[in-house]
């Protein structure tokens, strides 16, 4: 009986076409090989903050990280925040189409195979008011998927957002820092190493502020795992 159910489930999944083109059978993460090849995979990037660095050497630390070492150990991401990843993230975040998150989390998990593993995985939290409006935290859905896949504990309660801050997208880097200051709170003792999961990293202000708070509470190694990273020219928009 169980075997039959499993077979039906498998057939059902195999018959679903690629979630991007809707045409070809999926190769992995519900996406076909041709669409996978066309995704904006991150190329050369800063080894610390994953800022995409075109036309530079492979092992590179960006000027900003050289000038001031970020409080997190490393950012890991599979993609640049460009089409169609930006569309999928937006649909998942604002249109309730959360079914796009699992394939994206799956592709992120493949990037983590050689990465150091943390003792705990947490999402970038939403303020309770915003969580109420949206009814889910897209970062938490991705973090849960990764925690299950990597068999690492997950916490949705260790870090909370205490201030309902203005949307970061409307602010420049300096204003973003000020906007976020003291808006996160760690309500327990974190383990030595923590991975913080988010959908997109833009300037890295949120990642830096959360890392600062977690370190203050006793964590030592902070890893930032995100689905996509914006390139510098997009920060200014």
Which of 20/159 has CB closer to Zn ion? 20
Which of 129/174 has CB closer to Zn ion? 174
- Contact positions vs Zn ion (CB under 5 A): 18, 20-21, 32, 35, 46, 48-49, 51, 62, 65
* Nearby residues of 176 by Cβ (< 8 Å), 6 or more positions away: 168, 203, 205, 206
* Residue 88: CB minimum distance to Zn ion, A: 13
Q: What's the token pair of residue 13?
A: 């999944």
Q: What is the DSSP string of 92-131?
A: HHHSS-GGGHHHHHHHHHHHTTTSPPPSEEEEPPPBHHHH
Which of 70/190 has CB closer to Zn ion? 70
* Residue 120: CB minimum distance to Zn ion, A: 24
Which of 38/119 has CB closer to Zn ion? 38
* Residue 17: CB minimum distance to Zn ion, A: 7
**Spatial distance between the Cα atoms of 205 and 214, rounded to a whole number of angstroms:** 14
* Residue 11: CB minimum distance to Zn ion, A: 20
**Cα-based distances in Å from 211 to 29, 54, 100:** 30, 27, 27
């Amino acid at each position: 009986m169980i075997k039959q159910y499993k077979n039906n489930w498998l057939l059902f999944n195999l018959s679903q076409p690629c979630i991007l083109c809707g045409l070809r059978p999926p190769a992995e993460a519900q996406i076909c090989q041709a669409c996978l090849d066309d995704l904006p995979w991150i190329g050369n990037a800063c080894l610390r903050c994953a800022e995409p660095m075109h036309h530079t050497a492979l092992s590179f630390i960006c000027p900003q990280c050289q000038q001031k070492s970020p409080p997190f150990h490393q950012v890991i991401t599979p993609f640049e925040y460009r089409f169609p990843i930006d569309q999928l993230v937006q649909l998942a975040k604002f249109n309730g189409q959360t079914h796009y998150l699992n394939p994206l989390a799956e592709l992120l998990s493949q990037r983590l195979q050689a990465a150091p593993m943390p003792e705990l995985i947490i999402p970038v939290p939403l303020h309770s008011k915003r969580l109420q409006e949206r009814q889910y935290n897209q970062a938490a859905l991705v973090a849960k998927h990764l925690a299950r896949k990597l068999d690492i504990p997950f916490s949705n309660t260790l870090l909370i957002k205490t201030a309902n801050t203005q949307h970061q997208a409307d602010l420049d880097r300096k204003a973003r820092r000020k906007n976020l200051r003291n808006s996160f709170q760690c309500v327990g003792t974190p383990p030595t190493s923590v991975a913080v999961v988010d959908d997109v990293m833009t300037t890295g202000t949120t990642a830096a502020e959360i890392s600062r708070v977690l370190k203050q509470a006793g964590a030592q190694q902070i890893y930032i795992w995100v689905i996509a990273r914006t390139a510098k020219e997009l920060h200014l928009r």
